[in-house]
Chain A
Amino acid sequence: MLLAAALVSGLAIGAMYGLLALGYHVTWVVSRSVNFAQGSVMMLGAVIAFSLMLGWGWPWPLALPAALAGCAGFGVVLERVAVRPFRARGSESWLMATVAAGMLVENAALFVFGKEPRGMPSALARHPLMLFGAGILPLHLVILLTGLGLAGAFLVATRATPYGKALLAVVQNPRAAQLMGIDATRMTVFAYALSSALAGLAGILIAPLINVSADMGFVFGIKGFAAAILGGLETPSGVVLAGLLLGLAEASITALIGSGATVMASFGLVILTLYFRPHGLFGRAEIRKV
């Protein structure tokens, strides 16, 4: 019973990691860059949704898309300001630039939103269902299904649609992609918008479980990144699966050994995994012909 409870909530947390990891995946496959402010965008999603729903009294069917659009818009701006200038010069400084942008957003939120953590009420997080002797919130299941569903949708999109293939082609050979009529810039902007919307969605979904605060995203951002790396960054199903595994590992370590060992053990596992599988659990080596 002890483990069952841990596993269920571990899966839901893992699905969050998966959503964030999916965001890292999208920008990576399109532009070989990632948004290290992903955690801050996640916070942004939760903060916007909270402010709209509790501050302005919007109903959630309105607030949710508005918050996602806000995040996507932020992604567009971020790409323009903190990613494109650096990629255009062939510099890797987008890494640090997005970190700085994340700092900026987090501190701005601190002033606009306030310093205190706030509680996000949710009908889905009120009454637990009892399964296997453990309480599961309906929200847990929603998060899990959202994560798996989006991973599946991504897989289908990149495997079977021209647009998906075009997304993948851009980074492999930008010049050739342009010559095929694929607008590389637009694809990259789209990827950043999508990635940010995913992070925002993760933030909104998790908010009723962990509260809304300006610094809620930092740890999640890093763990989502860990999931993306574990999964191998290249395959949407891989990164979501890795997110679930990471969530499960954390929950079982906490349940079996204790909370003090969780971070050490889970990141230790990341190091070990990368030692044996340098391209992640589900990734494969890029072709490097001599």
Chain B
Amino acid sequence: MRRTIGPCVAGGLGLAAVLALAAAWLDDYQALVLGEVGLIAIIGVGLNVLIGLSGQMSIGQVAFQAIGAYTVALITAVAPQLFWPALALGVLLAALGGFLLALPAVRLKGPYLAMITIAAAFVVEHAIIAWKGLTGGANGIAQGSGVPLPWGDASAQALAGLIVLVAAAVFLAYAVFARSRLGLALAAVRDSETAAAAIGLDTVALKCLAFAIAAGLAGLAGGFFAPLTGFISPESFPLSASILDVLAVMMGGTEAVLGPLYGAVVVVLLPEMLAGLAEYRLLFVGGLLLIALLIAPAGIAGALARWRRGRGEAPASPPASLDLAAFLALEPRREAALAAVGLTHTFGGLRAVADFSATFPAGAVTALIGPNGAGKSTVLNLLSGFYRADAGGIFLDGRAAGRLGAWQRARRGLARGFQTALLFDGLSARDNVLVALRRGRAVGGMARDIAGRLLAVAGFEGDPGALAGSLGPRARRQVEIARALALRPHVLLLDEPAAGLTTAERGPLARLIREIAAAGVAVVLVEHDLAFVMEVSDQIVVLDRGQVIAAGPPEAIKADAVVQAAYLGTRAAMRPAAAAKRAPGRAVMLNATGITAGYGGAPVVEDVSFAVAAGETLAILGANGAGKSTLLAAIVGLITPRAGSVEFDGGDVTGFSAANLAARGLVLVPEGRQVFPELTVRDNLRLGAFARRTWPDRSELDAVFDRFPRLAERSRQRAGLLSGGEQQMLAIARGLLARPRVLLLDEPSLGLAPQIAERLFADLATLAAEGLTMVVVDQMATLALGIAERAIVLENGRVTHSGSAADLAADTGLAAAYLGGTGARPLVSPAL
């Protein structure tokens, strides 16, 4: 796309020049209409910066248009020859107004943002009315003079031509801007403010800039509006005009450079073409706009792009690798790159971190481990500046950094990853890295190349031009690491980088982390997989309930009795349920036959059949991406299977909605901490019983709290404030409150500390023993097999093995091949 910009620019400018010349043959009215198209297009480009690039919104652009128009009209009324300086001043004043409005607006989102811009439009309109002495009040001002050109005042035709040229220049500037460092940075802020701060972008300043640019362009359009129409009054700038401006951009398409042009053509010309309909006109305009929004969701530009798709980027040849140490150019230093002293943080009344002190030396990998809710992620957020500590100090390269914001710490060399990889989904994988890269030393035209190499270093094998939003979880983590490396960090914080990876995939990750550390970077790691932690770490810090309970080299930690008790637990007897075989000949409770399902494109699951008898527990095993979650989603009705049928309790329920099935007792506890974040823990649990249409009573809740004491402590807190592991417990507890007849669990142990995961499965075993029918999907195959009677193994969406749980567990070769090794490797090393 970049390569094609040259000829297109020439073509566009040529067209603009032709149009500008053609304006000479238009009559006055046509010239006025052409000028209006140009002005709305200019405002639209400004809105494109604001909406399309920076992801904000303004329904108050008329305010800035009015500022520009009145500045020009008032100055040229006194000194007609000063049009051009007046125009410049108008643009500046409008931009300043935009900046001032941005100060409160950048903290706002969605409807709040819309409201403040609407309010601004009203305030400006009525200020003009009230300030009669200057503005002539509601009477408005007649603009006597035109636009001075070298050969005299511009005629209506010349003015229209001029506006076309100015609009063309604005479009060109936008095309360059959108690809520039600033443009990419704005897009980054749009996609994730958190991640943008983490790569050192000053999100507030960037959003203010977008507002100022949009306002300045509206002011520019306003400056031309006065001479174009010859008269301005407060009524020339009604709120409805702002709405129309936004509509123009939306209809044109916010993603494309030329979107505002298409939109402007439509919103100006459509009413003109319908002028014959007189008073019926607005009725048609409203209807047509609605239809246009419905049939062209990505705007006209988007629809055109879809029409001529096929010119995709050629697949990139695998990029050469990168000498990471040379790129990072850091001498291995043994002094502390990052140090925390006495950090304390309270969270919703609970002390999440208390008196945390640690040093993270350069060139070493430090792991933070501990049970769920121990405060590991909170420590990472304190270190990286996303939370402000209540007490304590943070030192980055020996200098106090405790008062710096996240983006400032990033600029001082602190990079981080997030628990769920946070990427800029609207940018390509390469641009994700590129936007971070430019913070480092000048790399010039090499930037793209280096970004590609960094991706390769991080193990990314996909198309660097693919949108980040389209990548799978593993690729997202790789892009995130590459992006963090692009900052040339002194310190790198990683939050559960190995989560969801198979053993085969963990090896390269461990090597990469060692390589990064070897280059002199202080790596800090939060991770549950102890084998992985032991393999990569130089030192380990163990947290429990916000406090450091142990710290030292891996060997010492392994031997530490306190750690064993707090974190690892003792392996309880796991097989009471599975051992107690129930009588054969039980009724089939859930029967899936020939299920084929997916999300468009190739099916993820093909022709899968299984049956679960009443009181039986079935484990579904398989590597990442084998289709386990998709299968469950198809069974409970979250997605409609393309083929096959589901029978539940003797009746055909294929195609039933998830809500309907839940009400019938087929309950899925979905993967990944699916809670209602704004509701309290108690209310989350109560909603578990919604399908029963009864409100659970106190004793029922108490029973849940007995099983999950952590939830009892936090029952009145909003669920969103819980740690990841606690949320997982809540989701499972909530599923149990539905009193399911068949309970499906998708990755229940994901993100749980070993001790908690073990206790959870012990509880599930008890439930199985009590006669609950269950289907369990879990990466920790030993745990799942431990409670199941039978199991099936999925590979690439098909069943490859099925049999009794005991047989499958015994088949270590099978486990190694299909279970990503987690089955073959005991969960907790017995050596510990």
- Listed in ascending order, the chain A residues whose CB lies under 8 Å from chain B are 24, 28, 32, 34, 81-82, 85-86, 89, 91-93, 95-97, 99-104, 106-108, 110-111, 162, 165-166, 168-169, 172-173, 175-184, 222, 225-226, 228-229, 233, 260-261, 263-264, 267-268, 270-271, 274-275, 278-280, 286-290
Contacts and interface: CB of A to CB of B under 8 A. Distances in A.
A110 B279 contact: yes
B674 interface: yes
B293 A179 contact: no
Nearest to B667: A179
Interface string B99-130: 00101100110111011101110110111011
A143 B123 CA distance: 28
Nearest to A258: B130
B297 A91 contact: yes
A279 B92 CA distance: 30
Given A225-B115, A278-B104, 18 more contacts: A81-B294, A97-B290, A103-B282, A107-B283, A111-B283, A172-B676, A175-B670, A175-B674, A176-B675, A179-B638, A181-B691, A233-B111, A270-B115, A270-B116, A271-B116, A274-B104, A280-B112, A286-B720
Interface residues on B, range: 35 or more
Interface in B108-161: 108, 110-112, 114-116, 118-120, 122-123, 125-127, 129-130
A229 B111 contact: yes
Nearest to B291: A100
Given A162-B686, A278-B108, A260 B130 contact: yes
Given A162-B690, A278-B107, A95 B738 contact: no
A173 B695 contact: no
A172 B679 contact: yes
3 shortest A-B CB distances, which residue pairs? A181-B691, A287-B720, A103-B286
Most buried by B among A24, A86, A179: A179
A264 B287 contact: no
Interface in B334-367: none
B718 A99 contact: no
Interface stretch (B243-251, B436-444, B529-537): B243-251
B37 interface: no
Given A97-B290, A270-B116, A261 B130 contact: yes
A116 B115 CA distance: 30
B350 to A, nearest CB: 14
A249 to B, nearest CB: 13
B678 A290 contact: no
A221 B89 CA distance: 35
Interface stretch (B173-181, B540-548, B654-662, B776-784): B654-662
Instruction: Identify which of B107, B290, B294, B669 gathers the most chain A CB atoms within 10 Å of its CB.
Output: B290
A253 to B, nearest CB: 12
A181 B686 CA distance: 12
Contacts of A110: 279, 283
Nearest to B197: A290
> Which secondary structure dominates chain B's binding surface?
helix
A99 B111 CA distance: 13
A162 B687 contact: yes
Interface of B: 57, 101, 103-104, 107-108, 110-112, 114-116, 118-120, 122-123, 125-127, 129-130, 194, 239, 243, 246-247, 250, 279-280, 282-283, 285-287, 289-290, 293-294, 297, 377, 381, 386-387, 418, 636, 638, 657-660, 662-663, 667-670, 674-679, 683, 686-691, 693, 695, 718, 720-721, 731, 734-735, 738
Given A85-B294, A178-B657, A166 B690 contact: yes
B282 A107 contact: yes
| Best-surrounded residue of A28, A173, A183, A260 (most CB of chain B within 10 A) | A173
B638 A229 contact: no
A100 B247 contact: yes
Contacts of A274: 104, 108, 112, 115-116
27 contacts: A34-B111, A82-B290, A100-B287, A162-B690, A162-B693, A172-B678, A173-B675, A176-B670, A179-B674, A180-B691, A181-B663, A181-B738, A182-B687, A222-B239, A229-B111, A229-B112, A263-B126, A264-B123, A264-B126, A267-B122, A274-B104, A274-B108, A274-B112, A274-B115, A278-B107, A287-B720, A287-B721
A168 B381 CA distance: 29
Contacts of A260: 126, 129-130
A104 B111 contact: no
Given A85-B294, A180-B738, A181-B662, A100 B286 contact: yes
A267 to B, nearest CB: 4
Contacts of B381: 290
Contacts of A264: 122-123, 126-127, 130
Tell me the dominant secondary structure on chain A's binding face: helix
A287 B246 CA distance: 30
Contacts of B111: 24, 28, 34, 225, 228-229, 233
Contacts of B115: 225-226, 229, 270, 274
A271 B120 contact: yes
**Residue among A96, A102, A233 having the largest count of chain B Cβ atoms under 10 Å:** A96
Contact of B286 (A24, A85, A107, A289): A107
B523 to A, nearest CB: 19
Nearest to B689: A162
Given A264-B127, A290-B194, A179 B662 contact: yes
Nearest to A105: B286
Nearest to B108: A278
A286 B678 contact: yes
Nearest to B282: A107
A93 B686 contact: no
Given A107-B282, A263-B126, A165 B686 contact: yes
Contacts of A107: 280, 282-283, 286
A107 B280 CA distance: 8
A178 B662 contact: yes
B345 to A, nearest CB: 13
B668 A168 contact: no
A263 B130 CA distance: 11
Nearest to A161: B695
A33 B691 CA distance: 25
B418 A290 contact: yes
A280 B735 CA distance: 35
A111 B691 contact: no
A173 B297 contact: no
Nearest to B717: A287
- Counting chain B CB atoms within 10 Å of each CB, the highest count among A24, A166, A176, A183 belongs to A176
A180 B122 contact: no
Contact of B659 (A162, A182, A233, A267): A182
A95 B297 contact: no
B676 A290 contact: no
A261 B123 CA distance: 10
B695 A178 contact: no
A279 B687 CA distance: 27
A172 B687 CA distance: 13
B715 to A, nearest CB: 15
